[in-house]
Each structure stands twice: as C-alpha cells, then as structure tokens.
Amino acid sequence: MKAQRFIDRLYNLLTLRPVYHALFWLTLFGIMVFFGYTEGQSLPFVLSNEIISLFFFAVLVYFNLFYLIPNYLARNVLLYLGLVLASCAMVTPIKILVLYLKFSGKPWLQENLVQIQGSIFLSSFLVTMASTILRVVTDWWRYQREKQTLQTQTIQSELRFLKSQINPHFLFNTLNNLYALTLKKSDKAPEIVLKLSEIMRYMLYECNEKRVLLSKEIQYIHNYLDLERLRQPGVADIRFTVEGQVSEQLIAPLLFVPFLENSFKHGLNHHMHGGGFVRMHLKVQGDDLEFYIENSKAEGLPRQEHPRSGGIGLANVRQRLKILYPEKHTLEVDDRPHRYAVTLLLQMN
C-alpha cells in the first residue's frame, strides 16, 4: 500500500508539465556538454555554445509540440514529417550563422562548423522527433492512467449501487417474519435481528475497502441464507458448503452477491409450494478459489432469463471480474430448462 502511494505521488510529480520539461532539457543539456567538451576549450566557452544550441532546439521542439503535432500528426503523417524537415532546414542555417559569428577569431572552429552542417541539421531533426516520441508516450501513459481511474470509479459506483440494492422483498419479508416471531415470542427473533444487523453492517460499512477477508464474505453468505430459509415457503433445499482452509485470504467485496440473489430471484422464489433448491459450494486451495452455485427452475412458468442479478447485470459482473482479476478468473454459466448454474474460478492474490 505504501509502495503504491509512493508510485502515485511520483507519477503525479513527473506528469507535471514544468517538471518533465525541465528533466528533458537538463538531460539533453548534460549530454550536449559531455560530447561537446574537448581539450583546449574552457568550460564557460563550451557551456555558452551548448546554451545557444539548446535555444534553437527549444524553438524547434516547442514549435513542434504546440503547432505541428496538434495540427498535422494525426491527420497526415507524411505532411507532418515534411514540415518537421522544413522547420529544421530553416532553423539550422540561422543556428550556424549565430555560432559562426560567435567563433570569430577562431577560424578553425568556423571551418569545422561549415563542415558539419549536415550533422547539425540531423541533430535538430532527431531532437525534434524525440520530442514527438516523448509526447506520444506521455499522452498514452496519461490516457492509460485516466482509463484505469475511470474503471476504478465505475467499479466503486457499481459497488455503491449494489450495496444500496438490498433486495426490498428480502428485507420486507424478513421484517414481516421477524414481526410474526416477536408476536409469538419466539426464541428465533433475537437471532434474526442479529443476522440482519450483521448483513446491513457488512454491506454499508465494511465493504468500502478494495479487498475484504474471504471469511467475512463467507459469513455474509451464511447470514443471507439463514434469513432466506426463514422466509421460504414449504421445504426448500438450501445448502452451502465450504471446503479448504480459509485464513487470511482477501477478495473483492460482495463478489458473490449477484449470483446469490439471482438464484433466489429467478429460481427458488418461483417455487410457490416448496421443493426447489439452491446449492452452493466454495472450495479454497491457498489463493485459488472455486465457487459453484446452482438453483432449480419452477415448472409451468415463463422461461426466466438471467440478465440482471442483485441490481447489476451478468455483463457487469463479468466486467467487474475482468477489471479486478484480469487473466485470473474463469466464469462459466450453465443454463438448462430446469436448473441454472454458475461456476467461478478465481486467483485471489
């Protein structure tokens, strides 16, 4: 967590325009001084020469960044390259003239300057194109960061929406059953209140982190199923088994809720006289998790599709898994006339 915060702060610093521009020019100036210094020349003389060169590089680079790239790069690459070459061809003679006048009294340097005109032109072109490459790379990097931020915000919005979508039928039926138990002064009433409060607390307060303990997700499922058993008419076969060692594994919060609510909303709730089933099995091996859930479908009812579950659609569940666990999950759906099953394989680390 600390390393991630450090990386974020470093990124925010390096993406400030004055900072990365200053780093670019300081790096380039250091390279120019290193290769431009020769024996017999004073350091101030070399520094002044390279400052002049740096000025003309800056003219080309900022003309490229603020005019050529925005207006021509995306529209016509060949035209853009032609304009870069033309700009370098115009600036190079001016640069050579300024240095030629500066070298007055040193004819050997003036003669050398004339001989390396092609190299000066080439260096101007390379520096200008280097600024283009850096601009493309920084724009791509910024786009990726903004895309990641948007994806994270989308996930958080879906999670907040999911947390707000505590099934009202589930809640009201639970409260009605609780009311009936209190009238009968049943010993189950305090237990129901406790389980319902645990569900509400977990969804509203403990799911604000990116990852939660797997054991808490499992406890949430147990509480949810206990309340569903109370409100289901007749005899419903509701099972949940856990296999393996559950210790300190972390998982995205409320990951199983859409499948859990879907199994009751589109399955068991349509068995008006009981006899339906919801069966779940969760297997843990280290950081590898396998979650399986299946529910029956009632006969004599219109075919129930499963486009939405728990307030968000199956497509959104897939998208959330894709973002949270890229290349680390497999989701399979088995939709048959009388049963519906989902299998989720996940690497939690």
Tokens of 193: 């209140």
Q: Please work out, in degrees rounded to the nearest 5, the angle formed at the alpha carbon of residue 302 by the alpha carbons of 297 and 304.
A: 55
List the domains of the chain with CATH numbers.
Answer: 2-149 (no CATH), 165-347 (3.30.565.10)
* Contact predicate 302/263, CB 8 Å: no
SS3 content of the chain, % helix, strand, coil (to 5): 65, 15, 20
pLDDT above 60 for 130: yes
Confidence check: pLDDT of 303 > 60: no
Contacts of 298 (CB under 8 A, 6+ apart): 267, 270, 271, 272, 276
Q: The whole model's pTM is what?
A: 0.55
| pLDDT tens-digit readout, 47-60 | 998 999 999 999 99
Distance CA 21, CA 19 (A): 5
| Residue 184 CB neighbour total at 10 angstroms | 10
pLDDT digit string (tens) for 275-302? Answer: 688 999 999 999 999 999 998 887 655 5
Tens-digit pLDDT profile for residues 193-237: 888 888 888 877 777 777 899 999 999 899 888 887 876 656 778
Residue 82 — pLDDT band, cuts 50, 70, 90? very high
